[in-house]
Structure 1
Amino acid sequence: MILPEYDNQCGWYELLNNVSSFPPLEDQATFHTVVIGGGFVGNAAARRLAENLPDEPFLLIDALKIGQGASGRNSGFVIDQPHKRELELSSDAHKAKIVRLNRTAIEYFETQIDKYGIECQWSKAGKYQAAVGERGEKHLANYEHLLKQGNEVYHRLSAEEMRNVFGTDYYSAAIYTPGGMLMQPAALMRGLADNMPSNVRVVEETPISEIERTGTGFVLTANNGAKVRCRHIILATNIFTPELGFMRNRILPVMTFASMTRPLSEAEMSVYGGQTDWGLTPADHAGTTVRMTQDRRLIIRNSYRYAHDYNTPAHLLPKMKLRHREGFLARYPHLKDVEFEYTWGGASGLSGNFETFFGKVEEGVYASCCDQSVGAARGTISGMMLADMVAGRHGQLLQDMVEVSGNPSWLPPKIFLRVGVPLRMQMARFASRSEL
């Protein structure tokens, strides 16, 4: 059984101060529902369960420290619109439901952040999508067409505006949409976990190794031998879900890598000449994501691998750092003395047919997985809706969630994936080389 591992490399988590501690599970206890996984899905599911059923006890359990896993490793975007394949391939009605769901998740985040004073660099900064050359501009033109079709507000930037925001002349075209949010993901995860309702017990550093069905529910056994009983299980484990015996051969684990600089000095900020607190995704799917944080750190994210081992191989990080350095210097040759402080990988779950999964896996077991690399808003709303499903609360949002989800297709055996997926990624990287 492969278990999640922490590599001490995730910049977002390593920058946290005074991280709280939730003790590992050691006793035996009984809960209404156990939520396995403390990322976006699990955090939202546990909180919503507590709100729906305030007299019932719940357990949120994570194999690592909350914030160390995939949800604490993303680039800090909370995107309100359909993204990538869903934007391009979905019907107008499908996209309208996704927008409604994502914006509900954003409102839910904001409610908790305001209520508990969570310091996570939350910002209504919107999102930029940008192109480098001809290939990217074609993708960007299609993106603009789709925004117009959906009657979405957007702004196409001039060359001067791009330079003033991004601090570089590298990009040939960019579009701004105002609805997205930016944040520090590990800080957000910790802040939400630290402020769970009183009927949610939070447990960390306790991997679940076995799930056994009983006449009245389930017995879950942790890696340290501790056991808990429950009536329902929510699997917020995404790529690790098959390790627990569910969704086997349906989730394709893909890892992308990021590097984060040290904070820019006052003098370097003057040379940089752009703004702080913005995020840019590439018009070309295989291009480079760039962030400038509120604390003056630039982040470069690109390069993918088939994560058959689920965790980040340490030997790959130097190679990825060099790739990121190339992308950084192409954009910011005037900041050549600014070094990267952290480089890390983060995995997401894809499916062969681009479908996400949401709902009941089998009686008493619920899951949301195959996030298609858009986990913050989608993961949060799906966690909320899984909690509503468990509590028997069926409203329009839950109906929308079911309707925008699907059935991930069966994948070929891993022996074929280990050859075919890397080859396809290399081809995509070559095709998109002008946009990296």
Structure 2
Amino acid sequence: MILPRYDRRCGWYEQLDSVSDFPEITTDTHVDVLVIGAGFVGCAAARRMAENRPDAQVLLIDAIKVGQGASGRNSGFVIDQPHKRDLESHDETLKQKIVRLNRVAVEYLETQIERYGINCHWSHAGKYQAAVGPRGEQHLAHYESLLNKGGETYHCLSKAEMRDVFGTDFYSAAIHTPGGALMQPAALMRGLADNMPKNVQVAERTAVQAITRTSQGFEVRTGKARIQCRQLILGTNIFTAELGFMRDRILPIMTFASMTAPLNDEQMQRYGGRLDWGITPADHGGTTLRMTQDRRLIVRNSYRYAHDYNTPQELIPTIAARHREAFDQRYPQLNDVAFEYTWGGASGLSANFETYFGELEQNIFASCCDQSVGAARGTISGMMLADMAAGLKTDLLRDMQQVSGNPSRLPPRPLLRIGVPLRLAYERFKSRSEV
């Protein structure tokens, strides 16, 4: 069994001032609900279950430290607008439900941030989508038409506005959508875990080795203990396959990011743009770019088939060189600004771009195949899994079921090891002008 591991490279996590410690489960334990995986899905599911059933004992466990996994490694976007493929659906009602669910997730997270004073650089900065040249502009025009069709608010930036916000003339066109938020993901995950309801116990470094069904529910074996529970909620992302579920449905794809050191005052003058914004590329294969509230620029591009689920350290220099090239193209005036961190983070895709949400088996609930939009999607999925497990029937749960699908079966893994890298290389070649 492959388990999550931490490589001490993720810039979001490494810059945290201090991190609390949740002890490993070392003695046999009985709980009502066990939530495996303390990312966006798991944290939302544990909290919501505690809210739904305040008398229930809920245990939230993670194989590593909270914030070190995929949820703490993303680019810090909490989107309200669905991904472009969801926007392309011909069912306007379905798209409206996706947006509604995402906005509920944003509000749910913001409520906790305000209530507990979580310092995670949360802001309603919205999101930019930008193009570099003709290929990207074509994608951006299509995106604009979809926004118009859905009656969504947006703003097309002029060249002067792009220069004022981004500090670069590199982009040829950009659209700003005002919904959604930006944040520091590792800080958010730590804050959520640190402020769980009283009937939620959190445990770190508690990796699951086996799950067995019993007459009373389940026995979950970890490295040092056995956990008895009545219900299981899986927030295990791509590692769901390692637990024996969705083995031939989840395609683990890793993307990489590099983060600079904070810009000093003189470098900020040369930069000339604003703080606290984020760009996603109009072309799927392009580059994501962020400027944080604390003056760090982040570049994200490059993909690999994560058949081993974790980040091969020998790839880091090559990836960092690609990020350097993309950075220098955008900010030649900042060639003395060094990257401080380079890391990878994996998400779960499916061959037909469908997400999974529901009851895998009796009393085993899961959300898989987030399609790289895990912050909002993961949060609302965790909330609704808890509602489903608690036997609640709500409009949000019904909408969640309607916008979810059935991920198609993947080819055998030996074929994926050959085919996926070739496809990723082809997509990178097609999108080379936008990287």
- Quickly name the TM-score band, shorter chain normalised: over 0.9
- From the superposition, tell whether residues 90 and 359 of structure 1 become closer, same or farther in structure 2 (CA, over 3 Å): farther
Aligned to 1:278: 277
Matched, 1:243 2:242: yes
Aligned to 1:407: 406
Aligned to 1:392: 391
How far 1:88 moved relative to its partner? 2.0
Q: 1:342, 1:369 → 2: CA distance?
A: 28
SS of structure 2 residue aligned to 1:291: strand
Q: 1:243, 1:175 → 2: CA distance?
A: 40
**How many residues end up aligned between the 2 structures?**
435
SS of structure 1 residue aligned to 2:140: helix
Alpha-carbon contact 2:25-2:224 (below 8 Å) kept: no
Aligned to 2:162: 162
SS of structure 2 residue aligned to 1:419: helix
Counterpart amino acid of residue 413 in structure 2 = K
How far 1:27 moved relative to its partner? 1.2
For residues 376-415 of structure 1, give each alpha carbon's deviation from its aligned partner in whole angstroms, at most 9, with x where no partner exists: 0000000000000001111000000000001101100010
Counterpart amino acid of residue 179 in structure 1 = G
For residues 337-362 of structure 1, give each alpha carbon's deviation from its aligned partner in whole angstroms, at most 9, with x where no partner exists: 00000000000000011000000000
- From the superposition, tell whether residues 374 and 90 of structure 1 become closer, same or farther in structure 2 (CA, over 3 Å): farther
Aligned to 2:144: 144
Aligned to 2:100: 100
Matched, 1:288 2:287: yes
For residues 308-344 of structure 1, give each alpha carbon's deviation from its aligned partner in whole angstroms, at most 9, with x where no partner exists: 0000000001100000000000000000000000000
Q: 2:56, 2:330 → 1: CA distance?
A: 53
Q: 2:317, 2:94 → 1: CA distance?
A: 41
Counterpart amino acid of residue 278 in structure 1 = W
Aligned to 2:177: 177
Aligned to 2:429: 430
Counterpart amino acid of residue 213 in structure 2 = R
Q: 1:57, 1:287 → 2: CA distance?
A: 45
Greater shift in the superposed pair: 347-356 or 77-86: 77-86
Q: 2:113, 2:260 → 1: CA distance?
A: 26
Aligned to 2:219: 219
Counterpart amino acid of residue 429 in structure 1 = R
5+ long unaligned stretches in structure 2: none
Q: 1:90, 1:194 → 2: CA distance?
A: 42
Matched, 1:345 2:344: yes
Q: 2:416, 2:68 → 1: CA distance?
A: 27
How far 1:296 moved relative to its partner? 0.2
Quote the RMSD (CA, aligned, Å). Answer: 0.6
Give the structure-2-normalised TM-score: 0.99
SS of structure 2 residue aligned to 1:309: coil
Aligned to 2:363: 364
Matched, 1:308 2:302: no
For residues 11-53 of structure 1, give each alpha carbon's deviation from its aligned partner in whole angstroms, at most 9, with x where no partner exists: 0000001100000001111111100000000000000000000
Counterpart amino acid of residue 261 in structure 1 = T
Q: 1:390, 1:288 → 2: CA distance?
A: 39
Counterpart amino acid of residue 20 in structure 2 = S
SS of structure 2 residue aligned to 1:51: helix
Counterpart amino acid of residue 104 in structure 1 = V
Aligned to 1:256: 255
Aligned to 1:324: 323
Share of identical aligned residues, percent?
Answer: 69
Q: 1:225, 1:271 → 2: CA distance?
A: 54
For residues 141-173 of structure 1, give each alpha carbon's deviation from its aligned partner in whole angstroms, at most 9, with x where no partner exists: 000000000110000000000000000000000
How far 1:426 moved relative to its partner? 0.4
SS of structure 1 residue aligned to 2:21: coil
Counterpart amino acid of residue 204 in structure 1 = E
Counterpart amino acid of residue 319 in structure 2 = M
SS of structure 2 residue aligned to 1:89: coil
Q: 1:225, 1:364 → 2: CA distance?
A: 24
Q: 1:333, 1:90 → 2: CA distance?
A: 42
Aligned to 1:194: 194
Alpha-carbon contact 2:358-2:367 (below 8 Å) kept: yes
Counterpart amino acid of residue 347 in structure 2 = S
Matched, 1:130 2:127: no
Counterpart amino acid of residue 392 in structure 2 = R
For residues 91-136 of structure 1, give each alpha carbon's deviation from its aligned partner in whole angstroms, at most 9, with x where no partner exists: 2111100000000000000110000000000000010000000000
How far 1:248 moved relative to its partner? 1.1
Alpha-carbon contact 2:162-2:169 (below 8 Å) kept: yes
How far 1:90 moved relative to its partner? 5.0
Q: 1:417, 1:84 → 2: CA distance?
A: 25
Q: 1:110, 1:15 → 2: CA distance?
A: 22
Q: 1:182, 1:283 → 2: CA distance?
A: 18
Counterpart amino acid of residue 268 in structure 2 = M
Q: 2:85, 2:204 → 1: CA distance?
A: 34
